[in-house]
């Protein structure tokens, strides 16, 4: 029997509350919150009257101690430990700080910039509010939809297009899907041209917008292999470590070969890596103080009334941690991976455990790390093995996989993979011979009968707080410049590198192109390698894109970070999110564009790199009924950080 969205989401929420080991043990100042600490926050919230009827708990997260205190911390040393609870109460956004030692509320403020993310409780409530609304039911009846218990309704954030409603209210626009034909594929059957405007504070439908009847697209698109007449079978191909893992877990630290890093799971950020260091001889050398995703912007390219507002900040409006889900052993990750179950706060303030939401595993790539055949008969070759920490978050129709990858060459790679379902628009056309095909595919191609896949973008902002041999760093750009040679010589031109050191954050905003290549490096101002070079780590971009729309477009105005591939700022504790602390319904220009106006020095400072990784998605028939995983990545690699190849010690 088809499930309503209410039961679907309640099932998800209940499934998250499992009795399994948590990730953190509270032994390090950056460890994630424990179940006991979340219970203490819940008690404090109740005492403050913030869990009463009408209050909506959005999230509870760790307030990180000052960086200098973390760097000076030693085991056994007590540091203040605080959590932040974010709530919506009586039409206001409230931030409450709680001392996790005493349970006292140490700070309370009202936030009037933007809106907080959509909470799990609101996810559950919005379908009921819409499906039970008489006006919405009447509009559904015009489309032949009468089983209101088979609806799935999508709580869509609306951005900010200058309307009074967006400035004054906490609002969603909600469209629904008929799951009666596709009980295990919620987004397959859109009810097009119909949506409800919902005031989340009142959980009330304030307007039903009916733009005209479009028949619900027919067809059953199940995702289970048993739905195929002859499912393809393959012999098992597995990752196996017959002698055990090469990595160890030490509390929230992961140790692998020469690498050591701290792992935390956050409601909004998902995986957060901290204090990443590499053991070089007897010295543990710092590379990265912290790395995490900062924002994920997904604008759709359909200007019609039912679609123009679809420009999502998937991290800041929903949360990549809370939207993570259990990893499938043997498919999402190798069966023999180490699985971890982090703790977050449930909508009622209690602790819930995300069962198996993190996996850590080693992978032999089947390639050499390095190899060489010299004049002797011997071939020297070393197998390439990587360590990967992975989570997968489902935000609406998309599933995003996030990897942090370490290798023996001293490289750290961040990978983002996208799969799930394309967002489809219900249209009359069944194939390209339909009379309406031109209008139906104006903003994206037909990818299944009655379903157009709307063109869209994905822009990931990665925050990398670099500490290359300490916090005193500078950004170097080595430009590759063509240089003419003397006419009498054998060459007419060559290229050489021209070194530039960025002085302020205002100038350190870059767009990459093949026509103007450059090597970007974070260089230590206090340490040199054995050859006398200042030690550094270089940025290694992968394939990329920039927004194609005008910067004055309201959707892009909230996500101006995406207009540059690289921004560089000095470290500031409260600057964590490229589009600002609360991008939901935010004003234009929040986050990075506002911060860099200060023109702060970045020469010899504690530097943060903000790297934007983007791609344009033009859907195709192969994207349906599920979109194959596509990966996008960026890395940092040692550049004169060592005196020689760090993988020379491999057996």
| Residues identified as active-site | 314, 398
What is the C-alpha end-to-end distance of the chain, expressed in Å? 57
Closest to 325 in 3D by CA, of 333, 313, 337, 317: 333
What residues contact 209, with CB distance under 8 A and at least 6 apart? Answer: 173, 194, 195, 196, 197, 305, 306
447 close to 453: Cβ distance less than 8 angstroms? yes
Cα dihedral 509, 510, 511, 516, rounded to 10, equals 150
What is each CA distance from 374 to 170, 283, 368, 644, in whole angstroms?
A: 68, 33, 16, 19
What is each CA distance from 196 to 46, 134, 308, 326, 606, in whole angstroms?
A: 33, 12, 15, 31, 47
Could you give the count of Cα atoms lying within 13 Å of 195 in the half-sphere of its Cβ? Answer: 23
DSSP-assigned letters across all residues of 389-402: EEEEEEETTEEEEE
Cα dihedral 37, 265, 336, 9, rounded to 10, equals 90
**Distance between CA atoms of residues 346 and 121, nearest Å:** 9
**Distance between CA atoms of residues 331 and 238, nearest Å:** 10
Residue 554: Cβ within 10 Å count: 16
CA pseudo-torsion sign 430, 434, 435, 440: positive
Cα dihedral 222, 225, 226, 230, rounded to 10, equals 120
**Distance between CA atoms of residues 323 and 318, nearest Å:** 8
Residue 350: Cβ within 10 Å count: 13
Q: What is the DSSP letter of 33?
A: P
Residue 337: Cβ within 10 Å count: 24
For the record, the structure tokens of 16 come out as 């998250």
578 close to 591: Cβ distance less than 8 angstroms? yes
**Distance between CA atoms of residues 386 and 635, nearest Å:** 13
Could you give the count of Cα atoms lying within 13 Å of 230 in the half-sphere of its Cβ? Answer: 0
559 close to 566: Cβ distance less than 8 angstroms? no
Cα–chain-centroid distance for residue 166? 25
**Distance between CA atoms of residues 52 and 58, nearest Å:** 14
Residue 7: Cβ within 10 Å count: 13
Residues constituting the chain: 651
73 close to 31: Cβ distance less than 8 angstroms? no
3-state SS, residue 637: strand
SS (H, E, C) 501-537: ECCECCCCEECCCCCCCEEEEEEEEEEECCCCCEEEE
For the record, the structure tokens of 279 come out as 């053991």
């Amino acid at each position: 029997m088809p499930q309503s969205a209410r039961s679907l989401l309640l099932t998800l929420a209940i499934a998250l509350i499992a009795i399994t080991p948590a990730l953190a043990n509270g032994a390090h100042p950056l460890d994630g919150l424990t179940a006991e600490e979340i219970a203490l926050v819940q008690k404090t919230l109740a005492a403050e009257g913030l869990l009463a009827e009408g209050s909506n708990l959005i999230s509870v997260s760790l307030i990180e101690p000052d960086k200098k205190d973390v760097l000076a911390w030693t085991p056994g040393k007590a540091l203040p430990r605080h959590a932040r609870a974010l709530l919506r109460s009586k039409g206001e956004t409230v931030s409450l700080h709680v001392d996790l030692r005493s349970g006292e509320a140490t700070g309370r403020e009202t936030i009037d910039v933007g809106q907080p993310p959509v909470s799990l409780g609101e996810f559950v409530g919005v379908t009921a509010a819409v499906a039970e609304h008489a006006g919405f039911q009447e509009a559904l009846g015009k489309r032949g939809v009468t089983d209101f218990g088979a609806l799935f309704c999508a709580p869509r954030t609306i951005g900010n297009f200058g309307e009074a409603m967006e400035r004054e209210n906490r609002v969603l626009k909600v469209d629904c899907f008929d799951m009666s034909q596709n009980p295990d594929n919620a987004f397959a059957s859109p009810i097009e041209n119909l949506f409800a405007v919902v005031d989340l504070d009142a959980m009330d439908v304030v307007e039903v917008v009916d733009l005209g009847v479009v028949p619900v697209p027919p067809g059953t698109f199940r995702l289970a292999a048993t739905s195929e007449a002859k499912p393809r079978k393959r012999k098992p191909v597995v990752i196996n470590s017959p002698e055990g893992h090469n990595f160890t877990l030490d509390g929230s630290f992961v140790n692998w070969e020469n690498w050591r890093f701290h792992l935390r799971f956050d409601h909004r950020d998902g995986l957060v890596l901290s204090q990443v260091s590499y053991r070089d001889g007897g010295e543990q050398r710092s590379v990265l103080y912290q790395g995490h995703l900062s924002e994920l912007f997904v604008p759709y390219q359909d200007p019609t009334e039912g679609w123009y507002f679809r420009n999502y900040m998937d991290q800041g409006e929903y949360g990549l941690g809370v939207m993570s889900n259990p990893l499938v052993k043997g498919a999402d990750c190798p069966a023999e991976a180490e699985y971890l179950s982090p703790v977050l706060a449930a909508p009622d303030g209690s602790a819930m455990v995300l069962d198996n939401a993190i996996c850590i595993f080693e992978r032999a790539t089947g390639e050499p790390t390095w190899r060489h055949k010299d004049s002797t008969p011997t071939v020297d070759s070393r197998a390439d093995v990587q360590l990967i920490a992975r989570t997968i978050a489902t935000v609406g129709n998309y599933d995003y996989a996030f990897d942090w990858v370490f290798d023996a060459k001293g490289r750290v790679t961040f990978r983002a993979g996208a799969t799930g379902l394309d967002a489809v628009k219900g249209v009359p056309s069944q194939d390209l011979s339909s009379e309406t095909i031109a209008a139906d595919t104006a903003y994206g191609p037909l990818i299944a009968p009655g379903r157009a896949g709307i063109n869209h973008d994905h822009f990931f902002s990665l925050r990398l707080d670099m500490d290359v041999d300490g916090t005193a760093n500078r950004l170097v750009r080595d430009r590759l410049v063509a240089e003419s040679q003397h006419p009498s010589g054998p060459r007419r031109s060559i290229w050489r590198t021209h070194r530039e050191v960025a002085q302020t954050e205002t100038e350190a905003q870059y767009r990459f192109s093949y026509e103007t290549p450059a090597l970007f490096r974070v260089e230590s101002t206090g340490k040199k390698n054995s050859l006398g070079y200042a030690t550094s780590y270089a940025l290694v971009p992968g394939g990329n894109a920039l927004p194609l729309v005008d910067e004055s477009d309201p959707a892009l105005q909230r996500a101006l970070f995406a207009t540059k591939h690289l921004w560089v700022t000095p470290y500031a504790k409260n600057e964590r999110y490229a589009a600002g602390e609360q991008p939901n319904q935010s004003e234009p220009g929040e986050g990075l564009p506002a911060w860099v106006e200060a023109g702060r020095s970045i020469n010899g400072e504690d530097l943060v790199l903000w790297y934007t990784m983007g791609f344009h998605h033009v859907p195709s028939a192969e994207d349906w009924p599920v979109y194959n995983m596509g990966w996008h990545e960026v890395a940092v690699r040692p550049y004169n950080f060592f005196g020689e190849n760090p993988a020379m010690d491999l057996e």
